[in-house]
Amino acid sequence: MPPILFRPLLAGSVMLAAVFVAGLSAPAGLTVEPARWFVPGASGYEPGRVSAVRRPEAQRDRGFLTRAMSSLAGEAQHTWARRNGVTEPLPFMHNLTVVFPVSLRATRPEFFPLVAGRRLVPRPGSYFWNPDLARPDVAAFAADAARRHFRAHPEAAGFALGINDGLVWGESPELLKLATPVRWFRERPNYSNLVFTFMNRVAAELAPEFPDKYVGALAYYWAEEAPDFALHRQVVPFLTADRSQGYDAGFAAEDLALRDRWVRRVLGSPGPGTARPRLGLYDYLDGEGFFVPRIYHGLLAENLRAARRAGFTDHFAEIPANWGLDPVTPWLVAQLTQDPEVPLAERREEFLRRYFGAAAGPMGRFYARAEAQWIAQPGPPYWMKHYRNESQAVVFPAASLQALRAELDEALAGPLAPRHRARVERVAAAFGLTERLAALHRGRDALARAALAARPDPVEVGNLLELFRTKQSDFAAYHDALRRRDPEAFYGLNPGEFLKNDPTTMAAAVLSGGAADMSGRSQLARNPNWLGPLGRGQRIAELIYGIDEPPEWASRVEPAEKHLAVWRDEGDARVLRIEGTKDSSIQQWVERGGARPLAQAAVRGRVSPGTIVSLSLAWLDVRDRHVGHRLVRLPDGDWPDWVVLRIDGPTPAGAVKVGIGIRVQHQVAGDWAEFRNLALYGAK
């Protein structure tokens, strides 16, 4: 069966460069050299004394015991980490695909998720699934893997048993007892009782032989909420959250209450064994996925201080950094996790003064303005808001960008030491990509709205199309030049997510007379009007994984508390309405479709900033691998009347199938989308 049209944005830390699966002893306190490396490499070194080295006792009392960061690679970044007190992590990360490899399915099929009466057979390398964690023998098997590890590595402090980054858990009788009736947290299923029953069982199996060793867990996504029971003292959960969403007071209050519940479950009961109870905090401080300054230092410092005071003992930062645009955040995290009680202003002023020299004033205002803009962003929060999403551009409107550029210009206008000038120039160059992303987004948005107008003006559409193409080329060319000149300015520097959305097909329809020319094109989609009896979408353990499907169509849904997908008849076609979804799609694959197929669908709805309502065209090769993908999005705002989204594109070399689909992601309260007439036309 062909794969889904849309590759899901997998929940959680999929962007980590490394997964820690084996334990390393992490010192409780670490004497570090004075912090002279502000960013990795020679350009980030600033000679001179910073501050007295704190005694290990002070670090034990006031700092986190482990202070780890992801995605540090190469000698320069590891040197920077060592100089700034970054430690090895206490193991806890995704590891169940290692403990339960797919090859185990041949001998222990009962360990794999039970779905519709059959045990799944995952593909090698897949991680969309979790083992049947409710079974005691699954916990015993995991404990045996940890036991072998500790025997082979007696110096190891812990063993990672973090859940897979997947959403299929199964529906065995044992699982149903722990996971149903369904409970919800942050509009996602609450599987914490299931996950931490498994973790407690593992720890209890290990305790007789290894009473001082830890098993690390992820309190993450479907297991963010604290369980209903105390944890074994050798279980160390790392509580994940995108705390950049603390710009919303409701989210901030909810997250504080959640941390308190975890403290009670982990630290409130002495329990058996001799190990000191530990509790980890996991922060998504990512630069990767963002071409805008994602600055929230005040929230960050407040959260670290409150968590350490409450009893959290360990910290992990998912921080694939944009060293060119934001050199400040990684250094601040390294300092504040050693001593969260040090005033943020003191540490930030130290960085600005020593890294930017005489430009500290305007550079400080640059980052303060960027932070204020992030905190003032529109719309309600959701997990990893704006990640790999062009909607991040709306956080920085044109006036804000102009004010930020003025601060950079002022910083460069005065006399500076050569090393300080080079550092300011690096930030200024990286910010140039932010400006071009914003210009691309504004140009694309204006073109899409003009092409979707009730009475589009061909002259206006033509002018906007030319402008959009200019902005598109400028963004791509600037990105490529920056990548060659400064590859660490942005982590990964992949612009593809910001270039896929392309309204030029709709503009071309306007310029050709107001409608797409379908002469000579054949309809490739089977049942484009969604007629016929509806098949039941996939359900697992009382959760909705699929939309009720008309014949010839397939669907995918990420289970969500407020998800609603409703069909209604409208003349000679059906209409699909979607509300409250985190991620829903419906799709179809057919044969290749010629040199340049075209997809179109009628749509209307309400779209908030950050919400995605899209029409996609994609291709597969003979091995069902994706070889191309194009899409067009409905701009944010209210669209009460039907409009037609269109996208076409050249068939990539090696493609044997073409797919069409619609997808809705990140809906918030009040959002809705309706679709009809999802059609796919072959090339002329």
Contact by Cβ (8 Å): 63, 338? yes
- What value, to the nearest 5°, has the Cα angle with vertex 392 and ends 294 and 81? 30
Task: Give the pairing type, strands 214-219 and 235-241.
Answer: parallel
* Of 270, 383, 401, 460, residue with least CA distance to 10: 383
Q: Does domain 539-681 have CATH number 2.60.120.260?
A: yes
The 10s digit of each residue's pLDDT in 109-148 is 999 999 999 999 998 888 899 999 999 999 999 999 999 9
Strand partners, 640: none
Mean pLDDT of 264-275: 76
pLDDT exceeds 70 at position 423: yes
Question: Rounded to 10 degrees, what is the CA torsion of 624, 630, 635, 636?
Answer: 30
Higher pLDDT, 88 or 57: 88
| Number of other residues whose CB lies within 10 A of the CB of residue 282 | 24
Strand partners, 255: none
Mean pLDDT of 88-102: 95
Confidence of residue 290 (pLDDT cuts 50, 70, 90): very high
Q: Which residues of 415-430 are buried (b: 16+ CB within 10 A; e: fewer)?
A: ebeeebbebbebbbbb
DSSP 297-340: HHHHHHHHHHHHHHT--EEEEE----TTT--HHHHHHHHHHH-T
pLDDT exceeds 80 at position 24: no
- Alpha-carbon span 160 to 601, nearest angstrom: 46
pLDDT exceeds 90 at position 453: yes
Mean pLDDT of 574-595: 95
The 10s digit of each residue's pLDDT in 521-540 is 899 999 999 999 999 999 99
Quote the pLDDT of residue 594. 87
Could you give the strand order of the β-sheet that contains 235-241, starting from the edge strand earlier in sequence? 66-69, 314-318, 280-284, 235-241, 214-219, 158-160
Domain boundaries, the chain: 91-277, 539-681
pTM exceeding the 0.85 threshold for the entire prediction: yes
